[in-house]
């Protein structure tokens, strides 16, 4: 799209060809130059990109201005993808906070066979404690348990597919606590260093021609200390083809390493490189095979169950030596058991448990929700029509999340994403409006995909967006927005203006008044609530985490001096009595 804009702006009409490559190595560039593609082959891709860009602009600029006008103060940013994403975070947060846990009880039985102890849990979950206690007593009185049923299965686990950007971002957030934006920046750096393929990909597959190069790429990792042994074991072996599918390769293939081994890398870059290299080895490895055993026991008429598993062939799981998470009542292995065996009880315990809400979104779970937005819908028909629809693209999802931080709609609490008062206020206003409709956003993504494949006309899409922009503008101009932390904050300097809250500053609405409070104070971002407290009371409570010029962390209150400049007020040190 960027090229087409320049091409059209200059009035150029000459034919052009396109270099389309997925890595910056000399080999890839040479091969790409030998296979230059006619420019008109990418017309639909251009039309799709232009339609996306114009839709985002039309909706973003109109919705943002409409809500800001309705609010009468500050800037309240809305967007085609940004707002449904905020809705996901707020819905999960409010659902979590409103959740009322329910207490239930289960029994835990311990026994042994052949001097090998193991435990099993009751299949029933008791909602009433007296009922659980009665079952506990019956099991104890029995003194033994009987093996009622044994079921053995061989479980085959296929290796995971290669990484696309979103999957890499999700796992880097879970395993390394990296933000989506940080992971993208690191992947881009590795791409520019010619050691990793193009990062902004939405495909988890490679084509047949790339697959032919995989033995050489894997052999390269014999020289990489962490993977040398495993990579060597794949030499001459038949590689798994699960990640090979020409039809499922989109603009760029899945993330893989290039034929260039990295030299010394910073720790964060090395961690991401090893994730991609490790996943590549996993994807082309054998399947993991294990035997599982499910056992049902009874004691005093109470049924208990337990599962065990034994690894027969680790296959791809041997690459990073990662074991599968076991279920709550699953043992690593069980002793040899036969149906009808009577085992002496070692003990029976009563376990008190509580139901749990869906956890707050992390960046990992939010990326998954954005990628699979259609699954969030309750209506079966809508869910089916948007089965594979996400919101945003792999290249833009990290930027959308960062925008929500910049707008002060969300904050991080450890790994969780939590809405601010401002974010919840916006949510309260727009949650039932068209701008927040996940289904609508998912349908647009489908439409944009159809423009790319030539199944839909871009002009038809644009007209529908213009109609939609008019509808949401009318809706938003009629709302009333109240932010508790910034509501009716009068200017203490001129006494006539009101304070307007912006992403970087808070300032007086009176153009002749010079009152300005910068949000960033010694590397600490002030919230709307803290600024309101400063301007209405003249002083804040103690704020923790300021950083001095020497890097030293300190705590202080903020106050206004006689010229209404912001100054620090340090808490008085408590003097100890000498003995």
Which residue did the predictor score with more confidence, 23 or 386? 23
Closest to 536 in 3D by CA, of 556, 515, 554: 515
Distance CA 60, CA 77 (A): 7
Task: Verify that 511 and 461 share a domain, yes or no.
Answer: no
Is 1 within a domain? no
Task: State whether 348 and 366 are in the same domain.
Answer: no
The secondary structure of 427-438 as a DSSP string is HHHHTTSGGG-H
Who's near 20: CB < 8 A, 6+ residues apart?
32, 37
Residue 401 has what pLDDT?
94
Of residues 440 and 270, which shows the higher confidence score?
270
| E strand residue ranges, 388-458 | 410-413, 416-419
Q: Do residues 282 and 160 make contact, with C-beta atoms less than 8 angstroms apart?
A: yes
Percent of all residues in the chain with a pLDDT value above 70, rounded to a whole number: 92
Cα–Cα distance, 578 to 348 (Å, whole number): 58
Asked if residue 528 has pLDDT above 50, the reply is: yes
Whether the pLDDT of residue 379 is over 60: the answer is no
What is the distance between the alpha carbons of residues 27 and 29, in angstroms, rounded to a whole number?
A: 6
Give dist(CA 90, CA 426) in Å, integer.
10
pLDDT given at position 155: 93
Q: What is the pLDDT of residue 375?
A: 64
d(CA 28, CA 210): 11
* Nearest Cα residue to 235 out of 215, 208, 209: 215
Interatomic CA distance for residues 293 and 152, integer angstroms: 5
Q: So what's the pLDDT on residue 477?
A: 87
Tell me which of 445, 477, 509 is where a domain ends.
477
State the residue range of the domain holding 186: 165-283
Q: d(Cα 145, Cα 297) in Å, to the nearest integer?
A: 6
Output the pLDDT for position 478: 82
What SS3 state is found at 91? helix
- Out of 211-215, 318-322, 349-353, 394-398, least confident range: 318-322
The CATH code of the domain that includes 300 is: 2.70.20.10
Domain boundary among 354, 373, 394: 354
Checking if the pLDDT of 227 tops 70, the result is yes
Query: Does the annotation count 104 as an active-site position?
Result: no
Task: Indicate the Cα dihedral angle 424, 66, 88, 448, nearest 10°.
Answer: -170
Is residue 484 included in any domain, yes or no?
Answer: no
Contact 295, 233 (CB under 8 A): no
- Is residue 416, in this structure, part of any structural domain at all? yes
Q: What is the pLDDT of residue 488?
A: 61
Of 212-216, 425-429, 497-501, minimum mean pLDDT range:
497-501
Report the DSSP beta bridge partners of residue 154: 291
CB 10 within 8 A of CB 16: no
pLDDT of residue 324: 57
Length of the chain as a residue count: 579
Instruction: CATH number of the domain at 406, please.
Output: 1.10.460.10
Q: Which of 46, 126, 163, 198 is catalytic?
A: 198
Close Cβ partners of 324 (under 8 Å, ≥ 6 residues apart): 157, 317
**Residue predicted with more confidence, 384 or 191:** 191
For 78-107, the pLDDT digits (tens) are 998 899 999 999 999 999 999 999 999 999
- d(C-alpha 223, C-alpha 226), whole Å: 9
265 shares a domain with 183: yes
Structural element, H or E, at residue 501? strand 499-501
Residue 561 is assigned to a structural domain of this protein: yes
Model confidence pLDDT, tens digit, residues 53-65: 999 999 999 999 9
For residue 249, pLDDT beyond 90 = no
- Comparing C-alpha atoms, which of 247, 309, 278 is closest to residue 118? 309
The answer to whether residue 393 sits within a structural domain is yes
pLDDT (0 to 100) of residue 579? 45
232 and 332 part of one domain: no
559 sits in which H/E element: strand 553-560
Residue 233 has a pLDDT of 93
pLDDT band with cut points at 50, 70 and 90 for residue 485: very low
Give me the mean pLDDT over the 427-443 stretch: 84
Residue 34 lies in a domain: no
* pLDDT at 131 exceeding the cut of 50: yes
**23-66 pLDDT tens trace:** 888 888 999 999 999 999 999 999 999 999 999 999 999 999 99
- 539 three-state secondary structure: strand
pLDDT (0 to 100) of residue 358: 92
> For residue 473, is pLDDT > 50?
yes
Q: How many whole angstroms from its chain centre is CA 479?
A: 31
State the Cα–Cα distance between residues 266 and 276, nearest whole angstrom: 16
Q: What is the CATH number of the domain that holds 270?
A: 1.10.290.10
Residue 76 above 50 pLDDT?
yes
Verify that 447 and 527 share a domain, yes or no.
Answer: no
H or E element that contains 568:
strand 566-569
CB 447 within 8 A of CB 107: no
User: If we measure between CA atoms, which residue out of 176, 101, 162, 102 comes closest to residue 362?
Assistant: 176
How confident is residue 433, by pLDDT bands cut at 50, 70 and 90?
confident
Measured between alpha carbons, how far is 316 from 278 in angstroms, rounded to an integer?
10
Residue 333: strand, helix, or coil: coil
Alpha-carbon distance 313 to 281, whole Å?
16
**Residues of 396-433 as b/e, b for ≥16 C-beta within 10 angstroms?**
bbbbbbebbbebbbbeeeeebbbbbbbbbbbbebbbeb
Same domain, 232 and 219: yes
- Give the relative orientation of helices 397-406 and 180-192 as an angle to the nearest 10 degrees: 130
Number of structural domains, the chain? 4
Say if residue 359's pLDDT is above 50.
Answer: yes
62 within a domain of the structure (yes/no): yes
Q: Cα dihedral sign for 369, 372, 375, 379?
A: positive
Same domain, 271 and 177: yes
Q: Are 149 and 303 in contact (CB under 8 A)?
A: no
- Distance of alpha carbon 291 from its chain centroid, rounded? 33
Among 300, 321, 354, the domain-final residue is 354
Same domain, 444 and 457: yes
- The reply to whether 175 and 274 lie within a common domain is yes
Rounded CA gap, 247 and 362, in Å?
A: 32
Residue that is written with structure tokens 């084509």 in the block: 207
Question: Both 229 and 276 in a single domain?
Answer: yes
- Answer yes or no: is pLDDT of 3 > 80: yes
385 with 469, same domain: the answer is: yes
Local confidence band at 387 (pLDDT 50, 70, 90 cut-offs): low
* Residue 21 predicted with pLDDT over 70: yes
- Quote the tokens at residue 417: 């994403």
Alpha carbon 439 to its chain centroid, in Å, reads 19
The answer to whether 493 touches 510, Cβ cutoff 8 Å, is no
257 and 307 in a common domain: no
pLDDT above 70 (res 385):
no
How many percent of the chain have pLDDT more than 90?
60
Average pLDDT, the chain: 88
Separation between Cα atoms, residue 83 and residue 325, nearest integer Å: 35
pLDDT reported for residue 524:
87
Q: Is 33 domain-assigned?
A: no
Tell me which residue of 339, 335, 301 sits closest to 119, measured CA to CA. 335
């Amino acid at each position: 799209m960027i090229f087409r804009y320049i091409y059209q702006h200059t009035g150029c009409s000459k034919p052009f060809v396109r270099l389309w490559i997925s890595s910056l190595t000399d080999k890839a560039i040479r091969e790409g130059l030998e296979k230059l593609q006619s420019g008109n082959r990418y017309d639909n891709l251009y039309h799709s990109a232009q339609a996306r860009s114009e839709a985002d602009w039309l909706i973003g600029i109109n919705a943002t201005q409409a809500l800001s006008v309705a609010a009468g103060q500050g800037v309240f940013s809305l967007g085609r993808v940004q707002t449904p994403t905020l809705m996901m975070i707020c819905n999960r947060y409010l659902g979590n906070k409103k959740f009322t846990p329910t207490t239930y009880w289960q029994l835990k039985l311990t026994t042994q066979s052949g001097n090998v102890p193991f435990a099993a849990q009751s299949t029933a979950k008791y909602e009433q404690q007296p009922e659980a206690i009665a079952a506990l007593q019956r099991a104890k009185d029995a003194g033994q348990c009987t093996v009622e049923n044994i079921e053995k299965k061989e479980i085959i686990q296929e290796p995971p597919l290669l990484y696309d950007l979103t999957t890499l971002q999700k796992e880097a957030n879970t395993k390394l606590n990296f933000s989506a934006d940080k992971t993208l920046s690191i992947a881009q750096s590795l791409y520019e260093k010619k050691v990793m393929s193009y990062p902004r990909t939405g495909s988890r597959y490679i084509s047949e021609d790339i697959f032919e190069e995989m033995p050489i790429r894997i052999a390269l990792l014999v020289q990489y200390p962490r993977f040398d042994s495993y990579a060597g074991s794949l030499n001459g072996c038949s590689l798994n083809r699960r990640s090979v599918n020409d039809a499922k390769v989109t603009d760029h293939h899945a993330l893989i390493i290039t034929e260039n081994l990295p030299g010394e890398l910073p720790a964060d870059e090395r961690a991401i490189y090893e994730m991609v290299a490790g996943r590549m080895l996993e994807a082309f490895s054998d399947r993991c095979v294990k035997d599982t055993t499910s056992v049902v026991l009874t004691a005093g008429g109470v049924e208990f169950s337990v599962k065990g598993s034994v690894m027969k062939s680790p296959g791809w799981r041997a690459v990073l030596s990662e074991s599968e998470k076991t279920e709550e009542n699953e043992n690593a292995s069980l002793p040899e058991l036969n149906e009808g065996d009577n085992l002496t009880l070692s003990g029976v315990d009563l376990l008190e448990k509580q139901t749990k809400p869906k956890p707050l979104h992390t960046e990992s779970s939010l990326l998954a929700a954005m990628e699979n937005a259609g699954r969030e819908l309750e209506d079966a028909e809508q869910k089916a029509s948007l089965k594979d629809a996400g919101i945003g693209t792999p290249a833009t999802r990290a930027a959308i999340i960062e925008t929500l931080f910049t707008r002060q709609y969300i904050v991080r609490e450890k790994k969780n994403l939590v809405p601010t008062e401002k974010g919840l206020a916006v949510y309260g206003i727009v949650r039932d409006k068209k701008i927040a409709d996940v289904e609508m956003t998912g349908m647009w993504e489908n439409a944009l995909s159809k423009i790319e494949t030539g199944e839909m006309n871009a002009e038809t899409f644009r007209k529908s967006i213009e109609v939609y922009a008019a509808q949401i503008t009318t809706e938003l101009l009629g709302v009333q927005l109240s932010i508790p932390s910034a509501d009716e904050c009068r200017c203490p300097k001129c006494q006539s203006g009101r304070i307007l809250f912006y992403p970087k500053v808070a300032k007086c609405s009176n153009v002749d008044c010079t009152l300005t409070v910068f949000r960033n104070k010694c590397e600490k971002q002030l919230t709307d609530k803290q600024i309101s407290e400063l301007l209405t009371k003249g002083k804040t409570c103690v704020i923790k985490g300021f950083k001095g010029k020497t890097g030293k962390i300190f705590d202080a209150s903020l106050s206004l001096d006689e010229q209404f400049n912001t100054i620090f007020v340090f808490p008085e040190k408590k003097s100890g009595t000498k003995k």
